[in-house]
Amino acid sequence: MSLIVAKFGGSSVASIEKIKTIAHRVREMRMRGHDVVVVVSAMGDTTDDLIQLAGATGDDLNSREMDMLLATGEQQTAALLAMTLNNMGCSAISLTGWQAGIKSDSSHNKAKINGIENCRIKKEIEAGNIVVIAGFQGISPEGDITTLGRGGSDTTAVALAASLQADRCMIFTDVDGVYTADPRMVPEARKLTKISYEEMLELAVLGAVVMQPRAVEVALAYQIDVEVRCSFNKNPGTIITKEANMEKQVIVSGVAHDVNCARFAIFDVPDQPGIAKTLFKSLAGAGINVDMVIQAAMRNGRNDIAFTIGRDDLKKAIEVIGKLVIEIGASGMTYGDDVAKVSIVGAGMQTNPGVAADMFEALADENINIHMISTSEIKVSCLIDKDCIETAVRALHRKFELDKAE
């Protein structure tokens, strides 16, 4: 008898019909003799609807009260799924975050799990119940309801799997698993059977968000194998694990792309200590995340500084930087959202020099100009013109032979 932790996301529980579908799936696991702990998100757009209601109360959304409000969404799904299972003859019980013993810190809206006091869960499993837990929430040391931030239900599931020493942790979502590239762009993209935690983290950061990065970090920290599968079919998914490619060292695992980019450049910035700090502190102060950064070679004691940000932040950045340009004595600025980022990710890069060169070659062969480059140990990203993005993704997929079986 093994213990399965299975998480179902918002689109998998968006209606009572869909809840019934996943209830059948949970029931099958139970019929095969497994103990099952289910983690659920709020139904479909519930969280967005609640945020909209809250927005109507005024401009200042008290973060403690937001958590009090938002946590109800997952509680509703948990109760409805438990009812559905009971109606199918499967004894089930729902638990809120605090009932499940999910202890968090007090950072409302983005709380971190400190630990799980799992005695109630264990008691209910021993009593023969399927335990349905409201994801995304915990309880602070002060006894207040907290939420773990968007996608926090993934984190709940992985943390529960670690705490309960579950045999399997399954994240059911609306995609089939992790692909070598976006299948809508590259028809020959292939589903990966395995991927390492580190690669998954890079992919998530690069916009291919199959699973929340924080949940991957917890899985990495506790070395929990996590399987990402589709709620709507029985296809095998992708297993996120520590040794993704034990038999054969695959250099590049996938190609990711992100069209939600904007570029910004500031000309002739005086080469003085503290200028970059002023610039990026101002952006951070306005809540703008900077992604790639380039400082071009110095000419006459002046630099050009270029960076990318999320496209939605462009307007705000123009305001912030527009004021600063004069203040710091730069000669001007330019910006645009006509760019996109393409990346290759693979744990094998660390020990295989020349991968970046192969990438640049593939792009050059397609006459694609590279505006910026950034690299990590297991990733190379290039900023290119947005209208070249499909050609670039396909060329890289071919170059690294990602359509071939693992």
Task: Say whether residue 160 binds its own copies (CB under 8 A).
Answer: no
- Number of residues that this document lists for the chain: 406
Task: Say whether residue 376 binds its own copies (CB under 8 A).
Answer: no
Nearest CA-CA partner of 48 in 71, 63, 70: 70
Residues touching its own copies, count (CB under 8 A): 39
- 99/163 with CB nearer its own copies: 99
Task: Say whether residue 51 binds its own copies (CB under 8 A).
Answer: no
- What does the CA dihedral 80, 85, 91, 96 come to, rounded to 10 degrees? -30
In contact, 91 and 82? CB cutoff 8 Å: no
In whole angstroms, the minimum distance from the beta carbon of 20 to its own copies comes to: 8
Site residues for its own copies, window 175-204 (CB under 8 A)? none
Task: Say whether residue 94 binds its own copies (CB under 8 A).
Answer: yes
Task: Say whether residue 56 binds its own copies (CB under 8 A).
Answer: yes
Task: Say whether residue 104 binds its own copies (CB under 8 A).
Answer: no
Give DSSP secondary structure letters for 22-67. HHHHHHHHHHTT-EEEEEE---TTHHHHHHHHHHTT-S---HHHHH
Task: Say whether residue 82 binds its own copies (CB under 8 A).
Answer: yes
Task: Say whether residue 122 binds its own copies (CB under 8 A).
Answer: no
Task: Say whether residue 88 binds its own copies (CB under 8 A).
Answer: yes
Task: Say whether residue 37 binds its own copies (CB under 8 A).
Answer: no
* CA distance linking residue 131 with residue 112, whole number of Å: 22
Query: Coil, strand or helix: which one is 83?
Result: helix
How many helices (H) and strands (E) the chain has is answered by 11, 20
In whole angstroms, the minimum distance from the beta carbon of 76 to its own copies comes to: 5
230 - beta bridge partners? 173
Task: Say whether residue 68 binds its own copies (CB under 8 A).
Answer: yes
Using CB under 8 A as the criterion, which residues of the chain lie in contact with its own copies when the complex forms? 16, 19-20, 50, 53-54, 56-62, 64-66, 68-69, 71-72, 75-76, 78-80, 82-84, 86-88, 93-94, 96, 99, 120, 143-145
